[in-house]
Amino acid sequence: MIELEGLWVKMGQYLSTRADVLPEPYIYVLKQLQDSLPPRPLEEVRGTIERELAKPMNDLFANFVLDPLATASIAQVHRATLVDGREVVVKIQHNGIKEIILEDLKNAKSLVEWIAWAEPQYNFNPMIDEWCKEAPKELDFNNEAENTRAVSKNLSQKSGCENGVVSSAVDVLIPEVIQSTDKVLILEYMDGIRLNDNDSLEAYGVDKQRLVEEITRAYAHQIYVDGFFNGDPHPGNFLVSKEPPHKPILLDFGLTKRISQSMRQALAKMFLSCAEGDHVALLSAFAEMGLKLRVDMPEQAMEIATIFFRQSTTANEAKENIKTLNDQRERNAKALQEKMKMNKKEFQRFNPVDAFPGDAIIFTRVLNLLRGLSATLNVRIVYLDIMRPFAESTLLGSMMRGPANSQWIYDSPVNSEVESKLRNLLLELGSNKILGIQVCAYKDGKVIIDTAAGMLGKYDPRPVQPDSLFPVFSVTKGITAGMVHWLVDKGKLKYEETVANIWPKFGTNKKELIKVHHLLNHTSGLHNALGDVMKSNPLSVCDWEEMLEQITKCAPETEPGSAQIYHYLSFGWLCGGIIEHASGKKIQEVLEEAIVHPLHIEGELYIGIPAGVESRLAALTVDMEELEKLSGFRAGPEVPQELLNNVAQMATGLPVLFNTLNIRRAILPAANGHCSARALARYYAALGVGGAVPPPHSGCSSPPLGGHVHTPKFPTMPSSSKKKTKKKGTNSKKGGNFEQNGGGQHHHDVSQSDKNGYTQLRTSDGSDDRSSSETAMAGTGTRMFIGDGDKMLEAFTGAGDEFAGMIHPNGKFGLGFRRYGYAAGGGAGEEGRRKTMTFGHSGMGGSTAFVDVEHGLAMAVTVNKMSLGGVTRRVVRLVCEELGVPVPDEFSVAGDKGPDMVLNLAPPPPEE
């Protein structure tokens, strides 16, 4: 390497820093490449200085030390004293090194292209392209001088970062630039200890842990805050000041990388998504960086990305690190090969990366060099802790925050005066209480509110749009209940039918007498069924068939019909099981047929998302201030105690869990709905008139509701014991790559099914054979149900003589929906409250949807900042009061709260 010079020395320098993954003997030999190469002759040094500075050495220096302080790949450094008495170091470029490095780059480019052709898995073209662009900059010392001044200025700023998260400058030293030319650089002399001089570090009492942490902070500031960072942090480029507190001295800014604001925001998002385990934000960061993958494997993508930010290790763990990394690589390769259904030969020629951004090359190199530096000094660094404040500062500082930014509310037409007042309320509440929100309301079948505001996630600054998909937790139960009612309406099952008659395996362990209406009314006694799975292995809930199997083995805790206790998790598997067994179809297929297609809300209402909609997903976070108000909370007997034992712990843990793509893609009909508020509001507007489909959604809504052509298709269910009959009111044909439904024909590109039964259907241009307005109009005047609408309304709420015996006396639920009352004549207590034909379902953290049949109001609110529901209550109260509609108990100041919002059970704060 010493003989070959150029890039070979640079490669050796890099390897010498990787004490975390290379055996110690290699590190010991390669360390001499950092700054101990054979020095160039003094005549060469003198000639370069006098030629570049156009003066004799004696006119420039009062003293020039002949023995160099260090000799590296591009230059060597001598100590000197200027004629004015200043102590300096002089950096002199080796003669002919520029030509050598440029030739090395050309040869390396040829070699890499040959490897990429022979072994597509090992395509290093992006890496060498980045080096070809950046390496020549090291050969211009004027460029290094400017870089040194810029980094010094950035790191000495006292004002901190954009939003004050990081309030002080990092504590490092950088030499002052005295003079520079193309091949000579004169810098202020700083007396320091080399990082490889362990005896001196020990003698001076240097805290090596603090030293490396401060260097890491300096790099976090350069990368995330400044977007301008030294790309070569090997030990030879640092000193440690001899005076306490022994600050790091940063040297050599020849290879300094500048990245755009959008790239540093994307890098910050990538870092924070790894810290949070947020797959959606990670994939979004990849897209923003320009990293394109050829395969949908978010779990493996997260695993690989997290490797970059893992905690550093000591040098004596190098062997174990290599083994661990290799094992992980083999696991990922095996999973990828299985996913792509390739044989070994095909897989060897498959590269899962379609495009890798050059800007990220130097970034990943810096992280690896910092990890090697930690190993060299035998300290452990938790990068996620040290770098997080800087990444947060950059990302949050760039986000559209609250009323100060007019774009915080999505730019869409105002449908009514009440919508104008609602938007003013949202601005008043601001980003302190709201992260992202959607509000949609129908009055007498007409859209009067369709507002979106805020951001998709804590670390995702993209704006919430009307078609954004929010995880809504138990709001999903109202959707699942609608499918059960639809099957009853179609004659596929009956409310008074025993579940075992539909689902034979269910009829064990004293469940023989449980009827369909017991499940809908939360009176089956299975309120805690499988609740422990969220504690022992939360990801087990992703296995739909296994959970249904486990449900069949459960036993009720109370006699069916005797007590209404909220079925917080089991509701989904219980109802989902009878939906699939009664229909002979997948639950997602029933959802499409019963709700999505009739209402023309394609692409905006899912239970378990299909691949391809990740870019529209909102990510959950928790309002920690609100969470503190839960301390000491007590709930009534209708709420399972198991649900309340660790409410605070659950509230902080669930967002992390539900932000993972494997949970989002799972089928959890109790809690895993992903909807837009406008799709939810339209659903309840239809339910409120007994299933009649409302007129088309507001034509001003953009993108138009129902305009998403990405709809899932499902395999046929195995034959059930129920006799199948042709469904009334349907005209559906399926075959090949066509799907006919409702008279329209959609041409699709069918790809492979995923593990949840989805087949991804896409069109190349996002268009359809019909226009969006034609698609919407096709449903006008049609119905979701073929039966009597008034009877359906009675079934939803458990009203009327036919259904009164199916619900628990004085219970909060009808058949699947929470029944709301409101104050009558201002009276207090139960006597002063009136039960109404108002029903809906809320979800943990604040999302909700309901319909007031009497006053023709259907409304939905979706939020991604989980709280005690204060924002939702304020929104609903304002809309109701402006319309002169009574406020339902669930949303009134002192009203009776239902058991379906665990975090909304606490009474509202006094300021409400």
pLDDT tops 50 at residue 759: no
C-alpha 628/C-alpha 648 separation (Å) is 8
pLDDT at 473: 92
pLDDT digits (tens, 9 = 90+) for 718-734: 544 444 443 333 333 33
pLDDT at 176: 96
Q: Judge if the upstream peptide bond of residue 655 is cis by omega within 30 degrees of 0.
A: no
| Residues 559-576, mean pLDDT to the nearest whole number | 93
C-alpha 796/C-alpha 802 separation (Å) is 12
pLDDT tops 50 at residue 750: no
C-alpha 698/C-alpha 700 separation (Å) is 5
Neighbours of 471 (CB within 10 A): 28
Residue of 361, 20, 21, 374 lying closest to 214 (CA atoms): 374
**Residues 6 or more apart from 656 whose CB is under 8 A from it?**
276, 277
496 sits in the region (left: phi over 0; alpha: psi -120 to 50; else beta) called alpha
185 and 210 share one domain: no
- What total of structural domains would you count in the chain? 2
Residue of 448, 487, 897 lying closest to 722 (CA atoms): 487
Mean of per-residue pLDDT scores for the chain:
80
C-alpha 63/C-alpha 798 separation (Å) is 98
pLDDT digits (tens, 9 = 90+) for 256-268: 888 888 888 888 8
H or E segment and range at residue 282: helix 279-289
No. of helices (H) and no. of strands (E), the chain: 35, 30
Asked whether residue 154 is assigned to any structural domain, the reply reads: yes
pLDDT tops 90 at residue 181: yes
178 and 299 share one domain: no
Q: Find out whether 398 and 461 touch, Cβ atoms under 8 Å.
A: yes
Catalytic residue among 226, 232, 450, 623: 232
Q: What are phi and psi of 707, to 5 degrees?
A: -85, -10
**Which of 112-121, 134-143, 156-165, 197-206 shows the highest mean pLDDT?**
197-206
Task: Name the residue with higher pLDDT: 339 or 71.
Answer: 71
Where a domain ends, among 179, 194, 209? Answer: 194
330 and 370 share one domain: yes
Where a domain ends, among 172, 194, 216? Answer: 194
C-alpha 213/C-alpha 83 separation (Å) is 38
Maximum distance among all Cα pairs of the chain, rounded to whole angstroms: 111
176 and 210 share one domain: no
Q: How confident is the model at residue 663 (pLDDT cuts 50, 70, 90)?
A: confident
| Residues 191-220, mean pLDDT to the nearest whole number | 92
Where a domain ends, among 159, 176, 194? Answer: 194
176 and 221 share one domain: no
Q: Judge if the upstream peptide bond of residue 245 is cis by omega within 30 degrees of 0.
A: yes
pLDDT at 222: 92
Q: How confident is the model at residue 346 (pLDDT cuts 50, 70, 90)?
A: low
Q: How confident is the model at residue 674 (pLDDT cuts 50, 70, 90)?
A: very high
Give Cα 48 distance to the centre of its chain: 54
Known catalytic residue at 232: yes
pLDDT at 74: 87
C-alpha 255/C-alpha 148 separation (Å) is 11
C-alpha 69/C-alpha 77 separation (Å) is 6
Lookup: tokens for 105: 């780059």
DSSP-assigned states of every residue in 766-785: S--SS-HHHHHHTTTT-BS-
Asked whether residue 119 is assigned to any structural domain, the reply reads: yes
Q: How confident is the model at residue 2 (pLDDT cuts 50, 70, 90)?
A: confident
Residue for token pair 């002399």: 189
pLDDT at 11: 80
Residue of 573, 568, 487, 476 lying closest to 522 (CA atoms): 568
Q: What are phi and psi of 410, to 5 degrees?
A: -60, 135
Q: How confident is the model at residue 88 (pLDDT cuts 50, 70, 90)?
A: very high
C-alpha 768/C-alpha 711 separation (Å) is 12
Q: Find out whether 77 and 89 touch, Cβ atoms under 8 Å.
A: yes
Tell me the CB-side half-sphere exposure of residue 707, using CA atoms within 13 A. 18
312 and 227 share one domain: yes
Task: Name the residue with higher pLDDT: 780 or 111.
Answer: 111
pLDDT at 47: 96
137 and 199 share one domain: no
Q: Find out whether 229 and 325 touch, Cβ atoms under 8 Å.
A: no
130 and 205 share one domain: no
Task: Name the residue with higher pLDDT: 454 or 161.
Answer: 454
pLDDT tops 50 at residue 578: yes
Asked whether residue 745 is assigned to any structural domain, the reply reads: no
186 and 249 share one domain: no
Task: Name the residue with higher pLDDT: 60 or 745.
Answer: 60
Asked whether residue 627 is assigned to any structural domain, the reply reads: no
Q: Which residues of 374-383 are buried (b: 16+ CB within 10 A; e: fewer)?
A: bbbbebebeb
| Residues 619-644, mean pLDDT to the nearest whole number | 63
Asked whether residue 851 is assigned to any structural domain, the reply reads: no
154 and 42 share one domain: yes
Q: Find out whether 754 and 761 touch, Cβ atoms under 8 Å.
A: no
pLDDT at 151: 94
C-alpha 684/C-alpha 372 separation (Å) is 58
Q: Find out whether 270 and 305 touch, Cβ atoms under 8 Å.
A: yes
Asked whether residue 691 is assigned to any structural domain, the reply reads: no
Q: Which residues of 824-856 are buried (b: 16+ CB within 10 A; e: fewer)?
A: eeeeeeeeebeebbbbbbbbbbbbbbbbbbebb
Asked whether residue 111 is assigned to any structural domain, the reply reads: yes
Q: Which residues of 221-234 are buried (b: 16+ CB within 10 A; e: fewer)?
A: bbbbbbbbbbbbbb
Lookup: tokens for 216: 């890491």
pLDDT at 767: 35
C-alpha 280/C-alpha 284 separation (Å) is 6
**Which of 368-372, 383-387, 518-522, 723-727 shows the highest mean pLDDT?**
518-522
For 42, the domain range is 2-194
pLDDT tops 60 at residue 488: yes
**Mean pLDDT lowest among 117-121, 170-174, 751-755:** 751-755
766 sits in the region (left: phi over 0; alpha: psi -120 to 50; else beta) called left
Percent of the chain at pLDDT > 70 equals: 75
323 and 214 share one domain: yes
Rg (CA), the chain: 33
**Mean pLDDT lowest among 138-142, 155-159, 354-358, 514-518:** 354-358
**Residues 6 or more apart from 57 whose CB is under 8 A from it?**
46, 49, 50, 64
Asked whether residue 757 is assigned to any structural domain, the reply reads: no
C-alpha 167/C-alpha 217 separation (Å) is 13
C-alpha 504/C-alpha 500 separation (Å) is 5
Q: In what order do the strands lie in the sheet with 733-735?
A: 733-735, 738-741, 744-747
**Mean pLDDT lowest among 59-73, 266-280, 669-683:** 266-280
Torsional sign, CA 336, 340, 341, 347? negative
pLDDT tops 70 at residue 875: yes
Lookup: tokens for 675: 């909807």
pLDDT at 646: 53
pLDDT at 756: 35
Task: Name the residue with higher pLDDT: 440 or 868.
Answer: 440
pLDDT tops 70 at residue 563: yes
pLDDT at 399: 46
38 and 131 share one domain: yes
Q: Find out whether 588 and 714 touch, Cβ atoms under 8 Å.
A: yes
